[in-house]
């Protein structure tokens, strides 16, 4: 029987892969704590916890009519970002996939009233929400498998939770020990191009609005207390501050961990920082004694089940 060995909300911002000199220039001589936080997370978790596979819930990979999970035996190549090719150019990546787990995840879709497809195509694009975190947390660990699941841009809160429940059920049925990475930001509004370069430093005063920073801070307090029920219940309020990917990366993660039944407190790695208006942070949720709660069951009526299965 498989299990989730740990999970985290992890920032993937391009700044983390820039040279240190450049990072300091952008931040008035001080380096970003997001970088030191990732190094600490690698040392304290990814280098010591017993796990087989990392599942990245990738907030940059937007699908439309279904959730998609990568099912290649291996992914390798050079990544250049279409968004920021000056800062992320020809960066090598090379890691084993986990086709068996990917197909098992997809097989759980109908039981939760959703749509999940496992794709083995070696030409499927990859995104820096996966590659940037792999550079820090996976590079040099060749025995660890990495797969990604995209966010679906037509999914709402319930859809994202359903994906998480299916993911959690698949992990439990497998023989895998899995780490989950919800790769993405909190509030996520950029400054306009003419203003942006005045707001590249990490300070909280550069978050797009004080209200967005306050909403992020409130949820960070709830994470620290393990109050995931309150985070999920207040999603309509949080949507006012445009969390990245409608916070689908976090919702999928917490759906796999039991939603409001999960009381795992979060440990901060590094500080909460700005990135051109957006709220960025690393928060890790350790496996509680006895494991995370089982995912909730999804109530699916017969007509909907037939539609999903067709």
Instruction: State the sign of the Cα–Cα–Cα–Cα dihedral 140, 141, 144, 150.
Output: negative
pTM for the full predicted model: 0.97
Domains of the chain, each with CATH number or no CATH: 3-309 (3.40.830.10)
Closest CA to 295 of 251, 258, 254: 258
The predicted model gives 275-284 an average pLDDT of 98
Cβ neighbourhood burial of 289 (10 Å; 0-12, 13-18, 19+): exposed
pLDDT digits (tens, 9 = 90+) for 233-251: 999 999 999 999 999 999 9
List all residues 6 or more positions away from 108 whose beta carbon is below 8 Å from its beta carbon. 116, 166, 167, 169, 170
Residue 273: name the closest of 181, 206, 178 by CA. 206
State what percent of residues in the chain have pLDDT above 90: 96
* Radius of gyration of the chain measured on its C-alpha atoms: 18
Binning pLDDT at 50, 70 and 90, where does residue 307 land? Answer: confident
Q: Check whether 86 has a pLDDT greater than 90.
A: yes
The answer to whether the CB of 257 falls within 8 A of the CB of 168 is yes
So what's the pLDDT on residue 301?
Answer: 74
Nearest residue to 287 (alpha-carbon basis) of 211, 178, 147, 155: 178
pLDDT at res. 310: 66
For the segment 171-198, what is each residue's pLDDT rounded down to a tens digit? Answer: 999 999 999 999 999 999 999 999 999 9
Tokens 């009526």: give the residue.
301
Taking Cα atoms as reference points, which of 251, 249, 269, 260 lies closest to residue 292? 260
Residue 260: pLDDT band (50, 70, 90) is very high
CA distances from 190 to 166, 179, 274 (A): 33, 30, 10
pLDDT, one tens digit per residue, over 128-171 is 999 999 999 999 999 999 999 999 999 999 999 999 999 999 99
Residue 300's pLDDT is 82
């Amino acid at each position: 029987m498989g299990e989730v060995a740990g999970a985290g909300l992890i920032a993937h911002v391009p700044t983390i892969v820039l040279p240190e000199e450049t990072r300091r220039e952008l931040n008035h001589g001080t380096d970003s704590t997001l970088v030191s936080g990732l190094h600490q997370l690698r040392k304290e978790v990814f280098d010591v916890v017993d796990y087989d596979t990392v599942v990245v819930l990738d907030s940059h990979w937007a699908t439309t009519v279904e959730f998609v999970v990568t099912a290649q035996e291996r992914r390798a190549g050079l990544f250049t970002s279409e968004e920021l090719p000056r800062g992320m150019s020809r960066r090598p990546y090379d890691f084993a996939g986990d086709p068996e787990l990917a197909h098992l995840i997809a097989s759980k879709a109908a039981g939760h009233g959703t749509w999940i497809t496992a794709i083995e195509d070696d030409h499927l694009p990859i995104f820096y929400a996966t590659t940037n975190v792999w550079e820090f947390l996976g590079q040099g660990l060749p025995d660890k498998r990495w797969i990604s699941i995209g966010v679906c841009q037509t999914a709402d809160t319930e859809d994202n939770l359903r994906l998480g429940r299916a993911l959690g059920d698949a992990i439990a049925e497998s023989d895998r020990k899995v780490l989950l990475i919800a790769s993405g930001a909190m509030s996520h509004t950029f400054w306009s191009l003419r203003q942006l370069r005045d707001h590249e430093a990490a300070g909280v005063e550069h978050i797009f609005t004080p209200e967005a920073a306050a909403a992020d801070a409130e949820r960070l307090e709830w994470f620290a207390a393990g109050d995931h029920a309150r985070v999920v219940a207040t999603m309509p309020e949080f949507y006012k501050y445009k969390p990245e990917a409608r916070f689908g990366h976090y919702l999928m993660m917490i759906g796999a961990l039991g939603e409001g039944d999960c009381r795992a407190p979060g440990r901060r790695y590094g500080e909460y920082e700005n990135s051109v208006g957006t709220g960025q942070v690393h928060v890790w949720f350790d496996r509680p004694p006895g494991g995370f709660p089982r995912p909730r069951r999804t109530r699916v009526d017969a007509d909907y089940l037939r539609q999903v299965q067709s």
